[in-house]
Structure 1
Amino acid sequence: MDLHTRKLRAFVVLAEELNFGRAAARLFLAQQALSRLIREVEDEVGAALFTRTTRKVELTSAGRAFRDGAVAALAALDHAEAEALRRARAVSGTLHLGYTVGAALELTEPILSEFRSRYPDVELASREYSLADPDAGLISGSADVSIIRLPVSTPGLRTVSLFTEPLVALVSKGHRLAGRESVRAGELLDDSVTLSELEDPARREFWTLAAFRAPESPAVVVPVGSVTEEAHIVASGRAVAITAAAATRFMPFPGIEHVPISDAPRSVVALAWTGRATSLVTRFVEVALAVRDRETNLVNGIEHPLA
């Protein structure tokens, strides 16, 4: 037996309607055409599937058995077709995500979870990069898209702002500005400033408040190799650290106070990539921005970049 699905569907519809007129209308066929299809089905099965009178149409015992099998067969075929189409359209592959310390703060996990939920066939490989790699793997090619803090001097980056947050000064408990509700940038210019030894030039200017200094009076920098080392240096009173407000939540440390800088520019956390964005990068950016718009009001200090 080699029944076409068109004939099976015609049979199932008639088995549901038990009326040639209504079944033909559902199938967009003439009644004679439907009658011919049903005869062909019965010929191929080798049994009468319906009893027909001028008043009604009924399934025979053989027809009821065949109906159950036909419905199951068509359902299985429809499922297989839908699954094949879903897989053909599915987004797959590997997306390499780089990020610098802190990544997207409290939004990091919601962004990653949402992306994995939307694109379960994509492998999301994430890696944290040191402060010595401010583009978080983009130029080396080990990352497809990165979460970084601007500004950076790396050429050729394409970026979209994710959110901004204010700057704070980390000072020792014994510092002259400790206990203040806020300070102005100019009040910090006489202090040495901690900074990564291999800091990017644009970042060096930003995190030493160079915009507030005279060209002939650059900051005195105390180099640090890690966040922990920076905290010890600040606590000892050897220098202050200029950092983002997230430090108040993620960097509590004995002997240190966090003082907001009232007139400093805000720190920008951005998504970055090089060249033309791949489809996976585009999808990741779309997810990250959607999560940002949904949840940034839950995180103190974070603002939409256009706010």
Structure 2
Amino acid sequence: MNLRRLRSFVALAEELHFTRAAAKLFVAQQSLSKQIAELEAELGTVLLQRTSRKVELTPAGEVFLAAAREVLARFDQGVAETRRIGQGERPTLRVGFIVGAALELTTLIPGEFANRHPDARVELHEFGFADPSAGLAGVTTDVAFIRLPSSTYSLVVTPLFTEPCVAGVSTAHPMSSRERVRVADLLDEPIAIGRTDDSIWRDFWTLADYRGGQRVRNLVETHSQSEEVEVIAAGMACGITPAAARRYSPHPGVRFITIDDHPGSVVAVAHRSNQLNPLVASFVDAAKAVRDREPGILLTIQGAPKAG
């Protein structure tokens, strides 16, 4: 098995058309067909179903596509990093994060890392709800601040703290006058949720575990945290959100109410298990060091939330 066969398969799987895939790879269609046939022979299974009208991935092909993309992405990343270092460029660490990152610890952790590695360069990359892995799944970041629960794939996860959850409701909603609610009070409400394919993430923020296998009756999908707040303020839905929304996303039309019986969300620093960048371990150590020396900040984050 070689990289050429993997690239040939990925191109064909993305195009699902031999002529277009061959043109994309700048090879003859006959050569592409040979590469795919040799790959299937080596694996001992059919990856693509071919008919005179279309090409489709088999279930085995779907699995292998994900693996092939990951292998190629990591190989290309390693080549690029090797070239940068060989040409004398500063070593670079790509840090991903989603909304809120590590809250009040966010600026302290890169600062601690910079003290340990003054010659390293840190790139910060923000990701929306669509990618709770903050770039780790797509191999576009080396390390990331993520929220759990979510699909962690083959990630190594180091929890930093657990944050309570609150319900965001419009100030015009009947529940807005309450100091506290229970999950049962929210199950018949429309729920706003960031659009994502991560089912574990989605289930947690839509209270799926409390619904007895029933789906949310009215789900309002949003593309960003600011959009979600506006949807809630307009009375279109309620939202289940981290308690930090009170500090980071105040809105005159939204009130955040304590949920008594929903578990908190864990903020963690994570990386892939076979990470190539040697700076990752040091970044994780820096994150743990900051967490351990800032008990006051953790108490603020983890303390019993006040009514908003």
Q: Same fold (TM over 0.5)?
A: yes
Q: Deviations over 1:253-300 (max 9, x none)?
A: 121101010110111111111123553111111110110111142255
TM-score (norm 2): 0.66
Equivalent residue, structure 1, for 2:19: none
**Alignment partner, residue 189 of structure 1:** 187
CA root-mean-square deviation: 1.7
Q: Which amino acid aligns with 1:112?
A: P
- Cα distance in 2 for partners of 1:276, 1:219 equals 41
Contact 1:131 1:199 in 2 (8 A): no
Deviation per CA, 1:168-217: give whole Å up to 9, x if none: 00001121211222111111001010012234110110000111112134
Structure-2 change in CA distance of 1:122 and 1:300 (3 Å): same
2:148 counterpart residue number: 150
User: Which residue identity does 2:138 align to in structure 1?
Assistant: S
The aligned counterpart of 2:113 is 115
How many residues were matched structurally?
213
Unpaired runs of 5+ in structure 1?
Answer: 1-91
> Could you say which residue in structure 1 is the equivalent of 2:211?
213
How far apart in 2 are the matches of 1:150 and 1:119? 28
The aligned counterpart of 2:296 is 297
Q: Of the two, which has the highest radius of gyration?
A: 1
Out of 229, 240, 250, the position equivalent to 2:227 is 229
Check conservation: 2:156, 2:273, Cα contact below 8 A. Answer: yes
**Identity over aligned residues, as a percent?**
44
Answer yes or no: is the 8 Å Cα contact 1:296–1:302 preserved in 2.
no
Question: Any idea what the Cα deviations from partners look like across 1:90-109, whole Å, max 9, x if unmatched?
Answer: xx621111111110011000
Query: Would the alpha carbon gap of residues 102 and 219 (structure 1) be closer, same or farther in structure 2, given more than 3 Å must change?
Result: farther
- 1:286 is aligned to 285
SS in 2 for 1:279: coil
SS at match of 1:259: strand
Q: Partner residue of 1:83?
A: none
SS at match of 1:177: helix
Normalised by the size of structure 1, how large is the TM-score? 0.66
Deviates more, 1:280-289 or 1:293-302: 293-302
Amino acid at match of 2:285: E
Q: For 1:3-18, list aligned pairs within 5 A.
A: none
Q: Letter of the aligned partner of 1:109 in structure 2?
A: T
Please list the CA deviations of residues 50-106 of structure 1 after superposition, one character each: whole Å capped at 9, or x if unmatched.
Answer: xxxxxxxxxxxxxxxxxxxxxxxxxxxxxxxxxxxxxxxxxx621111111110011
Distance 1:219 1:209, change over 3 A: farther
- Further displaced range: 256-265 or 154-163: 154-163
Contact 2:129 2:195 survives alignment (8 Å)? no
**Structure 2 vs 1, CA of residues 142 and 258 (structure 1 numbering), >3 Å: closer, same or farther?**
same
Give yes or no for contact 2:164–2:265 (8 Å, CA) kept in 1: yes
* 5+ residue gaps, structure 2: 1-89, 304-308
Q: Distance in 2 between matches of 1:96 and 1:237?
A: 38
- Select 1:161's aligned residue among 154, 159, 164: 159
* 2: CA distance, partners of 1:216 / 1:120: 52
Aligned to 2:122: 124
Contact 2:128 2:223 survives alignment (8 Å):
no
Amino acid at match of 2:288: L
Instruction: Please tell me whether residue 270 in structure 1 is matched to residue 306 in structure 2.
Output: no
1:233–1:303 Cα change, 3 Å = closer
Q: Is the 8 A contact 2:208 2:215 kept in 1?
A: no
- The question of whether the paired residues in 1 share the 8 Å contact of 2:151 and 2:200 is answered with yes
**Structure 2: which amino acid aligns with 1:279?**
P
Give the partner amino acid of 2:129.
Answer: L
Task: Please tell me whether the aligned partners of residues 205 and 211 of structure 1 are also in contact (alpha carbons under 8 angstroms).
Answer: yes
